[in-house]
Structure 1
Amino acid sequence: MKVHALAAYAPGEPLRPFEYEIGAVSGFDCVIRVQSCGLCHSDIHVVDNDWGGATFPVVPGHEAVGEVVELGPGVTHLKIGDRVGVGWQSGACLGCRDCLRGNEQMCDANQATILHQYGGFGDYMTVDSRFAFPIPDGLASAAAGPLLCAGITVYSGLRHAGMRGGQEIGVIGIGGLGHLAVQFAAKLGNRVTVFTTSPEKAEYAARLGAAEAVIVGRDGSPPQKPSRPLDIIIDTVASGKDYNAYLNCLDSDGVFNLVGIGNDPIPLSVFAFQDKRRRIMGSPIGSRSEMIEMLGLAARYGIVPQIETFAFERANDAVQHVRDNKVRYRAVLLMD
């Protein structure tokens, strides 16, 4: 099968047409006719080779949703015609301690979709079917794509920070990750406080279910304390802030979880977390079981990303919009 895709042939270059062949399927292979594919900053980082390890040409797209058109002989949980999604992770060893604990996302041999294979910016893609997830009927394909990356990142991060329900949850940043974190926290029964630099974003967060907003300066100045101490703060920005001040917004035994990607060192005072037995942690994407759980909850409670759609032919426009932080809040390419 010949695939018509878009690829970056060198770091930072615009996407150009690229063709490749999908060979005979075997084992757990799954071939998907792509209907839509999200574009996030991680795609840009790989296209620009900011993190190293990219193999060019790079076909981006790790938020792909489409129809199963071919299956390997080892696949029993999917059938032709199923609508499935593929996220950041496309493989793992499935035999190490992490995998056997159900933490495939932390496997040392985990494979990122656009680093180890061609992504979803094409009419077809192939993937290990064990990392292709059925999309519930209640979710539109275009909206489901960003949930496969941003959605699972914040959902898993909140869960592993201890979110249950009936808690005080803080969300730093109302962007591609933050606007989904507000929805998951609020619609699963928690009171949400947002920290944002924009009154307009604070109003938007209130429409998503946030109960309180703290407006912070863009210069990283300390935030004003919210009206109630928080059980969890999830940081979707992860740079340029007074971390000790945010830790002091937490209640005793509170948890500060970093899910946004940042490279800056984090200066911390031991007193900010020792006196109240607070904790600071990081969290990557979620496991396969969490992905299925998250998609089900999103369909049940109407948790959807705000998206801007672009025709496939306008992929470079979408890339530039994401580079310039102009997208509100997730960009999605439509293939059909």
Structure 2
Amino acid sequence: MIKAYAAFEPGGKLQPFEYDPGSLDDHEVEIAVEHCGICHSDLSMLHNDWGITQYPFVPGHEIIGTIAAKGAHVHNLSIGQRVGLGWHAGYCMTCHSCLSGDHNLCAQSESTIVGRHGGFSEAVRAKAASVVALPDNLDAQSAGPLFCGGITVFNPLVQYNIPPTAKVAVIGIGGLGHLALQFAKAWGCHVTAFTSSEDKQQEALSLGAHAVLNTKNPEELAAAANRFDLILATVNVKLDWNAYLATLRPKGRLHFLGVPLEPLDINVFPMIANQCDVSGSPVGSPATIATMLQFAEQHKIAPIVESFRMDQVNEALARLASGKAKYRIVLHNR
């Protein structure tokens, strides 16, 4: 039996919960959970905002732990090895996307917290192909958010071959945005932070931004016309997207990483005139995650985290929901 914390209804408090995971599949591993980050996606799933949550629901998909058991056909991981697990817990391994190395786009991928129990627990299971070894010099206590938030902001830099000479802007300096600033700066780009909070301006500069634009000041936004090659939108609220499109250079890209639930209100003519792109992307493949971890180790990139014990999970979720977390929250099994 695996001990965990589960909600039994939409938005419900998490309660102690035990479940029998059954026999270990030949291609699976069992991870003894040491640390697990909390992502806004966990809140969305808790409240069934996307209509796919199954109860009892055990959140948690930013998992750091050690291999406690492995199936007969698992040869790439060792017992006791420290690893991480993110949004995906398995792939079909036979579709065109998987065979092309784009496992994260597999239509039959298994999510760590959709239809299975996640990392707010003492252990979690996943297919070995979705589990990535943690580099020795990354801090295990804070690395969990890299497996969701970190790879989410790193993936577009790889997918779109962003050159180090690019001018990159980040909308929103929060759980995703504070990592996007660090990765884009280390990538070599000139980085601008868009923020509506004066309190975050100095911190944005310390995280890697070369400049900060106050989005409450329409004059600052207008003065940034024709400036950026890539804008990473990390917020989940509706904004004046046309104002941001106007700040793109020809062939620039407005790229969505946060998930605004309202439809996008975008004028097409400026996009056509400047040959701009509007796009989005999920987390990356296991290979891209491994590259991201190596890059983070080399450039000393780390999430800023607040820590809670696993049995404080409801307090931690309330902290995240309040919008006051700075900037990611990690639960620890002690």
| TM-score clears 0.5 | yes
User: In structure 1, how many angstroms separate the alpha carbons of the residues matched to 2:8 and 2:143?
Assistant: 28
User: In structure 2, how many angstroms separate the alpha carbons of the residues matched to 1:51 and 1:222?
Assistant: 36
Which residue of the partner structure matches residue 221 of structure 2? 223
Q: Does the 8 Å CA contact 1:28/1:74 hold for their aligned counterparts?
A: yes
Which residue of the partner structure matches residue 332 of structure 2? 334
1:45 aligned partner, one-letter code: S
SS at match of 1:114: coil
Q: Does the 8 Å CA contact 2:232/2:255 hold for their aligned counterparts?
A: yes
Which residue of the partner structure matches residue 210 of structure 1? 209
Q: Post-superposition shift, 1:224?
A: 3.6
> Alpha carbons of 1:59 and 1:232: their partners in 2 closer, same or farther (altered >3 Å)?
same
User: In structure 2, how many angstroms separate the alpha carbons of the residues matched to 1:186 and 1:224?
Assistant: 24
Q: Post-superposition shift, 1:160?
A: 2.3
Q: Post-superposition shift, 1:252?
A: 1.2
Q: Does the 8 Å CA contact 1:58/1:118 hold for their aligned counterparts?
A: yes
> Alpha carbons of 1:285 and 1:221: their partners in 2 closer, same or farther (altered >3 Å)?
farther
Q: Post-superposition shift, 1:222?
A: 8.7
Q: How does 1:145-184 map to 2 (within 5 A)?
A: 145-184=144-183
Q: Deviations over 1:161-193 (max 9, x none)?
A: 431212110111000000000000001111101
User: In structure 2, how many angstroms separate the alpha carbons of the residues matched to 1:62 and 1:232?
Assistant: 28
Among residues 260, 264, 278, which one is paired with 1:262 in the alignment? 260
Q: How does 1:238-249 map to 2 (within 5 A)?
A: 238-249=236-247
Which residue of the partner structure matches residue 281 of structure 2? 283
Which residue of the partner structure matches residue 201 of structure 1? 200
> Alpha carbons of 1:18 and 1:221: their partners in 2 closer, same or farther (altered >3 Å)?
farther
User: In structure 2, how many angstroms separate the alpha carbons of the residues matched to 1:217 and 1:161?
Assistant: 30
Shifted more, 157-166 versus 43-52: the winner is 157-166
SS at match of 1:157: helix
Among residues 231, 235, 238, which one is paired with 1:237 in the alignment? 235
Q: Post-superposition shift, 1:239?
A: 3.2
Q: Post-superposition shift, 1:197?
A: 0.5
Which residue of the partner structure matches residue 44 of structure 2? 45
List 4+ stretches of structure 1 deviating above 6 A.
Answer: none
Q: Alpha carbon RMSD of aligned pairs, Å? A: 1.6
**Structure 1 residue runs without a partner (length 5+):** none
User: In structure 1, how many angstroms separate the alpha carbons of the residues matched to 2:186 and 2:18?
Assistant: 43
Q: Does the 8 Å CA contact 2:59/2:119 hold for their aligned counterparts?
A: yes
Q: How does 1:1-336 map to 2 (within 5 A)?
A: 2-217=1-216, 223-226=221-224, 229-336=227-334
User: In structure 2, how many angstroms separate the alpha carbons of the residues matched to 1:38 and 1:275?
Assistant: 42
User: In structure 2, how many angstroms separate the alpha carbons of the residues matched to 1:232 and 1:16?
Assistant: 43
SS at match of 2:221: coil
> Alpha carbons of 1:89 and 1:225: their partners in 2 closer, same or farther (altered >3 Å)?
farther
User: In structure 1, how many angstroms separate the alpha carbons of the residues matched to 2:57 and 2:2?
Assistant: 14
Q: Does the 8 Å CA contact 1:152/1:286 hold for their aligned counterparts?
A: yes
Q: Deviations over 1:58-83 (max 9, x none)?
A: 11100010010111011010000100
1:159 aligned partner, one-letter code: V
User: In structure 2, how many angstroms separate the alpha carbons of the residues matched to 1:228 and 1:46?
Assistant: 38
TM-score by length of 1: 0.96
User: In structure 2, how many angstroms separate the alpha carbons of the residues matched to 1:131 and 1:186?
Assistant: 28
Q: Post-superposition shift, 1:238?
A: 4.6
Q: Post-superposition shift, 1:18?
A: 0.2
User: In structure 1, how many angstroms separate the alpha carbons of the residues matched to 2:92 and 2:220?
Assistant: 43
Q: Does the 8 Å CA contact 1:157/1:259 hold for their aligned counterparts?
A: no
Q: How many residues align?
A: 334
Q: Deviations over 1:192-224 (max 9, x none)?
A: 011000122121110011101100129x99934
Percent identical pairs in the alignment equals 37
Q: Post-superposition shift, 1:247?
A: 1.0
